[in-house]
């Protein structure tokens, strides 16, 4: 180990984070534990190379080996998803989405239509705070009163707004996405249909969520969420996409480079290839299905404790709890749960009466704890702990949003950090996580 000698400070911090990830229940639905093999591929000499361009069409010499690495990653993705075209170079999910818009939209003229962030869409689906909403026109759709996609409203909006691209695929939507219905709307208005499957890629590969491939034109995905690879992203074009626009693949390639990026991260490309091989193995099907079984068990246990779940439950890997009926704020709940070694994130709920900084809900998911081998009995335990934490937090007077932004919060937090109930649960959690090793 060189690092421990040359930079003991960073080495120690990495070790501390390793311990934190081992001790806690990591329940942020966009996170996961990659395999050792993926990490090995990341930490290699491939990080030294410059490879601007694409296999066999590079601007730099010395890419004989890199060409093979990238071609292998592409071939594995094509096979796994059943698509004719793949770009594995986007540095992460946000640049992948931007590349699609750069490929297809005229700045300040063409319109992107995505789900509003407040309802579970991603920043890069045309939010005004994001470059995707500043450089392009956008129109944002919302969910229905029941917390589900309202296809009648989406269709009306698409007809009225005439978007160039409709984006489906979300960051905080606990239900199955009906890609066929989106396709009918996109076809009606002549829009490109982009499925951003970042959150559910692993479920799709495992057959635990329907695939968008027969219906959409373009797919973007991160590689580090349920797919369990390194941080990174891919853009795929389906046969349907090439039929609509035979140049779609070429347009996307040039949007990635020279449009947005210079050199690809070749170590990341190799690690993506490794993750794709792992995802093609039969064990991954079991994994993906278990993620959903775990989420459903967790959801029904939470319902038994009187929690209000957005849309009433889950079909996938994630659960959105609306905490208003418990009189607890989402930010406060997330802080208290972390003290108890349960790591989730605060999240807005549909039609939230609170601002995004201080929202009414929390979002939690099962991908990472399922990677550790946890199953239904553990989910019931987790629900019990969450309930005990929330029941304890309920006794506190909730800070107002203004208080949550100022000094008051320090006192409040220090009280939460010392709470005996939370700390006792933290110990119980640690004794459970100790039995489920990280890869
Ligand atoms: C996570 C996510 C992204 C962005 O990925 P980054 O790698 O964080 O840039 C984009 N879209 C969706 C739907 C996501 O869930």
CATH of the domain at 51: 3.40.640.10
Domain count, the chain: 2
Are 425 and 300 in a shared domain?
A: yes
Name the E strands within 40-156.
Answer: 53-54, 57-58, 85-87, 111-115, 137-141
Domain range for residue 398? 283-433
CA of 93 to the centre of ligand 1 (A): 5
Alpha helices in 162-281 (DSSP H): 179-189, 201-205, 239-244, 248-254, 266-279
**430 flagged as catalytic:** no
- CA–CA separation, 258 and 120 (whole Å): 31
Are 264 and 288 in a shared domain?
A: no
Are 293 and 264 in a shared domain?
A: no
Are 341 and 270 in a shared domain?
A: no
Are 60 and 151 in a shared domain?
A: yes
Task: Express each pLDDT in 286-340 by its tens digit.
Answer: 999 999 999 999 999 999 999 999 999 999 999 999 999 999 999 999 999 999 9
Ligand 1: residues with CB < 6 A are 30, 92-94, 97, 122, 124, 169-171, 196, 198-199, 222
Is the pLDDT at 221 greater than 90? The verdict is: yes
CATH of residue 324: 3.90.1150.10
Are 198 and 327 in a shared domain?
A: no
Of all protein residues, the one whose alpha carbon is nearest to atom 15 of ligand 1 is 171
Q: Which of 248, 279, 310 is the last residue of a domain?
A: 279
User: Sign of the C-alpha dihedral, residues 255, 233, 361, 337?
Assistant: negative
Position in ligand 1 atom list of the atom nearest CA 125: 11
Q: Quick check: is 330 in a domain?
A: yes
Are 112 and 249 in a shared domain?
A: yes
- CA–CA separation, 292 and 199 (whole Å): 13
Are 269 and 364 in a shared domain?
A: no
Task: Express each pLDDT in 346-385 by its tens digit.
Answer: 999 999 999 988 999 999 999 999 999 999 999 999 999 9
Instruction: Report pTM.
Output: 0.97
Which is the catalytic residue, given 52, 150, 155, 403? 52
**395 flagged as catalytic:** no
Are 210 and 90 in a shared domain?
A: yes
> What distance lies between CA 32 and its chain's CA centroid?
10
Closest CA to 268 of 29, 10, 93: 93
Are 103 and 149 in a shared domain?
A: yes
Position in ligand 1 atom list of the atom nearest CA 225: 1
Q: Quick check: is 3 in a domain?
A: no
Q: Quick check: is 149 in a domain?
A: yes
Q: Quick check: is 26 in a domain?
A: no
Which is the catalytic residue, given 22, 49, 148, 231? 231
Are 317 and 274 in a shared domain?
A: no
Of all protein residues, the one whose alpha carbon is nearest to atom 3 of ligand 1 is 93
Contact 78, 242 (CB under 8 A): no
Mutation choice for ligand 1 from 32, 94, 131, CB with most ligand atoms inside 8 A: 94
Are 291 and 226 in a shared domain?
A: no
């Amino acid at each position: 180990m060189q690092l421990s000698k040359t930079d003991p400070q960073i080495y120690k911090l990495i070790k501390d984070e390793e311990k934190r990830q081992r001790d806690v229940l990591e329940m942020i639905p966009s996170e996961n534990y990659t395999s050792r093999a993926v990490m090995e591929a990341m930490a290699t000499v491939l990080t030294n190379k410059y490879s601007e361009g694409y296999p066999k069409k590079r601007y730099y010499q010395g890419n004989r080996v890199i060409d093979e690495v990238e071609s292998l990653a592409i071939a594995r993705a094509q096979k796994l998803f059943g698509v004719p075209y793949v770009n594995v170079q986007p540095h992460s999910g946000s640049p992948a989405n931007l590349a699609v818009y750069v490929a297809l939209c005229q700045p300040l003229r063409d319109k992107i239509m995505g789900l509003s962030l407040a309802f579970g869409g991603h920043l890069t689906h045309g939010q005004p705070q994001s470059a995707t909403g500043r450089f392009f026109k956008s129109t944002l759709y919302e969910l229905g009163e029941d917390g589900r996609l309202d296809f009648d409203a989406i269709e009306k909006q698409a007809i009225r707004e005439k978007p160039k691209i409709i984006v489906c695929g979300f960051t905080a939507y606990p239900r199955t996405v009906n890609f066929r219905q989106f396709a009918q709307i996109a076809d009606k208005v002549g829009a490109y249909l982009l499925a951003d499957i970042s959150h559910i890629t692993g479920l799709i590969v495992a057959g635990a969520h329907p695939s968008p491939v027969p219906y959409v034109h373009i797919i973007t995905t991160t590689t580090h969420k349920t797919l369990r690879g390194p941080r990174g992203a891919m853009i795929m074009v389906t046969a349907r996409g090439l039929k609509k626009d035979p140049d779609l693949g070429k347009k996307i390639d040039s949007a990635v480079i020279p449009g947005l990026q210079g050199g690809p991260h070749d170590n990341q490309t190799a690690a993506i290839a490794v993750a794709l091989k792992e995802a093609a193995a039969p064990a991954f099907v079991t994994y993906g299905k278990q993620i959903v079984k775990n989420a459903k068990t967790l959801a029904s246990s939470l319902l038994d404790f009187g929690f209000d779940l957005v849309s009433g439950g889950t079909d996938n890997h994630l659960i959105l709890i609306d905490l208003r009926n418990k009189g607890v704020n989402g930010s406060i709940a997330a802080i208290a749960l972390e003290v108890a070694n349960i790591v989730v994130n605060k999240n807005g709920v549909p039609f939230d009466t609170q601002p995004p900084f201080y929202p009414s809900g929390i979002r939690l998911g099962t991908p990472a704890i399922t990677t550790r081998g946890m199953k239904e009995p553990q989910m019931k335990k987790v629900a019990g702990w969450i309930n005990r934490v929330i029941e304890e937090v309920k006794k506190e007077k909730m800070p107002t949003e203004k208080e949550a932004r100022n000094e008051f919060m320090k006192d409040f937090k220090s009280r939460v950090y010392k709470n005996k109930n939370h700390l006792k649960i933290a110990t119980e959690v640690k004794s459970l996580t100790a039995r489920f090793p990280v890869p």
